[in-house]
Amino acid sequence: MFYTDARIRNWVERIKEENVDMDSGKGLEIFDKMLDDYIIACINLLKSVKSREITKSSARKMLEESTSLLTKRYDLEDEIKNELLDITLENMGVVSKSLELVLDGRVSKKSFEKLLKDAIEREKNGDMEGAFEEIAKMGAKLLAGEKLPEDIEIPDEDLVVVGWLDAIDAINTVNLLAEIDRSEIQEEDDDLE
């Protein structure tokens, strides 16, 4: 299985046990770790497709099953934790849609800046589904191996799209960390020769 109900419930239980303090930021990293875990699972699923361990249609089915888990409601018995979990699950949904686009071969040729601009325009025009799609296209580009420009301008506006950019930033960070790990392994291999 790719990302199961048991895996999400494990995160839910860990979050329930975590002491979260919004003022100090204590405990908030668990939500980032949950998102990162999902991103890594998506990247591994994509690697399995690329190495022909599974077919695209099997991967697509696994992704659909996991995506349905992201729309469930979980009660953490804490209003703040519930809100943060909802935000995290929504960002996991961005990642899921991004992977779907990659599996379907629909990686956009538009620049990250243009996709972001289009997402903002769509949100301002009330097209939240279209805005979500544009942000997911940014994620698809990252999952397909592109790098997020360091100088991309994030709007300083109260927009839902800005929140979804957390998922894009997280995918980019996971990719960068994997690249660092690969280069360190390569350096170790070179030192052994």
pTM: 0.90
Amino acid at residue number 89? L
C-alpha distances out from residue 105 to 27, 125, 137, 165, Å: 38, 28, 11, 22
Sign of the four-CA dihedral 149, 154, 160, 161: negative
β-pair partners for 125: none
**For residues 133 and 129, what is the distance between their CA atoms, to the nearest angstrom?**
6
pLDDT by position in tens, the chain (length 193): 688 999 999 999 999 999 998 899 999 999 999 999 999 999 999 999 999 999 999 999 999 999 989 999 899 989 999 999 999 999 999 999 999 999 999 999 999 999 999 999 999 999 999 999 999 999 999 999 999 998 898 888 889 999 999 999 999 999 998 888 666 665 555 555 5
C-alpha distances out from residue 98 to 41, 80, 139, Å: 13, 27, 5
What integer pLDDT is reported at residue 103 of this predicted model?
Answer: 97
What integer pLDDT is reported at residue 155 of this predicted model?
Answer: 85
What integer pLDDT is reported at residue 114 of this predicted model?
Answer: 97
What integer pLDDT is reported at residue 102 of this predicted model?
Answer: 97
Residue 13 near residue 77 (C-beta atoms within 8 A): no
Listed in sequence order, the residues at least 6 apart from 97 whose beta carbon sits closer than 8 Å to its beta carbon are: 132, 133, 136, 139
> Environment class of residue 153 by beta-carbon count within 10 Å: exposed (0-12), middle (13-18) or buried (19+)?
exposed
Listed in sequence order, the residues at least 6 apart from 92 whose beta carbon sits closer than 8 Å to its beta carbon are: 34, 35, 38, 70, 167
